[in-house]
Amino acid sequence: MCLAIPGQVKEIFEQNGLRMGRVDFGGITKEVCLAYLPEIAIGDYTIVHVGFAISKIDEESALETLNTFREMGLFEEEFGVEPAPVETRH
Amino acid sequence: MKYLEEFRDAKGVQGLLAEIRRLVTRPWNLMEVCGGQTHSIIRNGIDQLLPQEIRLIHGPGCPVCVTPLVAIDKALAIASLPNVTFCSFGDMLRVPGSDKDLFRVKSEGGDIRIVYSPLDALKIAQENPERQVVFFAIGFETTAPANAMAVDLAKKRGIKNFSVLVSHVLVPPAIAAIMSSPVNRVQAFLAAGHVCSVMGFWEYPPLAERFHVPIVITGFEPLDVLAGILAAVRQLENGEARVENAYSRVVNFEGNLPAQALLKQVFTIEDRAWRGIGNIPQSGWKLSPAYREYDAETRFSVGEIHTVESPLCHSGEVLQGVIQPTECPAFGRQCTPRTPLGATMVSSEGACAAYYNYGRFAPVSITTAEEPACAT
């Protein structure tokens, strides 16, 4: 019930005065209400719960978190693994 | 997501586990509030990978599990009425009421529909003006904005044959209730990330300060959960009690302001009984007076409800973190997903369902720090 799925906004349109969008969940596309995210744009990622986009996903923050893990040296210290920089792994 | 796999990375899991092992010097009890996190923890075996000093206590964050029996019985009564189409999220249908569940009502001829979104229920009402369409509006702060929108749209569009049976609950009062309990063992919280995506986390600093308890907002992927545990352990070891956001790619301090605005417009806060736990002050939402005409309880007089809980079910103790699911005498015997005694065995986020579905039939055996971590 509280789980929400990340997806990418592919299309934005209005339906009966409601801001709606088509969101792609890794190949499955569903109609989603975008009324709670007035700023979201096509191409953005969002978390969707019971047909509503509730939060935009901040890619910069995600990469920052991953880089923090690497800066802590967690991978190298324990296992001698030399991870590639985040940017080159996508 | 391009980077989603990174948050499931086995080496990252091992690295974070090593850091937790390095930091921990004595036993700590952490509660993950959200049932979605409970499932992630059990599915990935995170509790078994942690050093034995860290004990994860499963919290009450499953809306299906905490919906009070009287609300289920009211749903059953309304769904049994002629001319009513009763709409619900799928995992409510098998939750046992006092003497049956919604599936039974359906098999007896009730018009019960499983919907993906409350907007689907609203659409059914628009397309079937001759029927009364009722939506079972349960859930935490994550789900409430969707239900608020459905009610507001019904009002704006003048849809008169739509109503909602409301049983919404709020997380911060539950945290306060857990910390105030004389049997409380929780020393830090992993707060539910998606609840915070709506509500932000501005309500948490006063709680962290009042109860001197670290609260770390966490996501659902293995690295998210472990990063949350690491942050909580670090605070505990340092004697700190702050709010930290370990899910910043989704959650910010303010939360979703348009959602909060509509919640404030459509709902008012009231005391609420949680199934298996009891009354928690100011922990529920009901429709505000301006929307009261959409209240199914008012529209359909369901009369006096006399509830009967199974005496064998210990889900209340599971929900409060007092016992593990496997410590319930009925677990896996009288109570299974096919023959559930309580909602915790039915819900897709229930702790008992997580233990049963992932084959945990004995109390958690925690590995020592030297044992290797498995890939996620």
Q: Check A65 against B248: CB less than 8 A apart.
A: yes
Asked whether the beta carbons of B325 and B355 are under 8 A apart, the reply is yes
B366 within some domain: no
Q: Which of B88, B83, B150 is nearest to B122 (CA)?
A: B150
pLDDT given for residue B372 in this prediction = 34
**Residue A2 pLDDT more than 70?**
no
Establish if B235 touches chain A: CB-CB under 8 angstroms: no
Is residue B44 domain-shared with residue B133, that is, in the same domain? no
Is residue B113 domain-shared with residue B98, that is, in the same domain? yes
B12 within some domain: no
The total domain count for chain B is 3
Nearest CA in chain B to A38: B258
- How many Å lie between the alpha carbon of B35 and the closest alpha carbon of chain A? 8
- Domain boundaries A5-76, CATH class: mainly beta
Domain spans, chain A: 5-76
Greater model confidence, B373 or B356: B356
Establish if A84 touches chain B: CB-CB under 8 angstroms: no
**Residue A86 pLDDT more than 50?**
no
Average pLDDT, chain B: 91
**Residue B370 pLDDT more than 70?**
no
Which residues of chain B have a CB within 8 Å of the CB of A65? Answer: 227, 246, 248-249
Is residue B152 domain-shared with residue B84, that is, in the same domain? yes
Order of strands across the sheet that contains B215-218: B54-61, B28-34, B188-192, B215-218, B243-245
Structural domain including B319 reads: 314-358
pLDDT given for residue B322 in this prediction = 83
Query: What's the rounded Cα separation, in Å, for the pair B371 and B123?
Result: 54
- How many Å lie between the alpha carbon of A86 and the closest alpha carbon of chain B? 9
pLDDT per residue as tens digits for the range B240-270: 999 999 999 999 999 999 999 999 999 999 9
Average pLDDT, chain A: 80
Looking up residue B288, the CATH number of its domain turns out to be 3.40.50.11740
**Residue B373 pLDDT more than 50?**
no
**Residue B107 pLDDT more than 50?**
yes
Mean pLDDT, to the nearest integer, of B269-275? 93
Query: What's the rounded Cα separation, in Å, for the pair B141 and B139?
Result: 7
**Residue B227 pLDDT more than 80?**
yes
Establish if A6 touches chain B: CB-CB under 8 angstroms: yes
Query: Percent of chain B scored above 70 by pLDDT?
Result: 95
pTM of the complete model: 0.88
pLDDT per residue as tens digits for the range B201-214: 999 999 999 999 99
Query: What's the rounded Cα separation, in Å, for the pair B60 and B119?
Result: 27
Looking up residue B208, the CATH number of its domain turns out to be 3.40.50.11750
Is residue B184 domain-shared with residue B37, that is, in the same domain? yes
pLDDT per residue as tens digits for the range B124-158: 999 999 999 999 999 999 999 999 999 999 999 99
B19 within some domain: no
Helical H segments across B181-246, by residue range: 193-199, 204-211, 222-238
Give A84's pLDDT tier (boundaries 50, 70, 90): very low
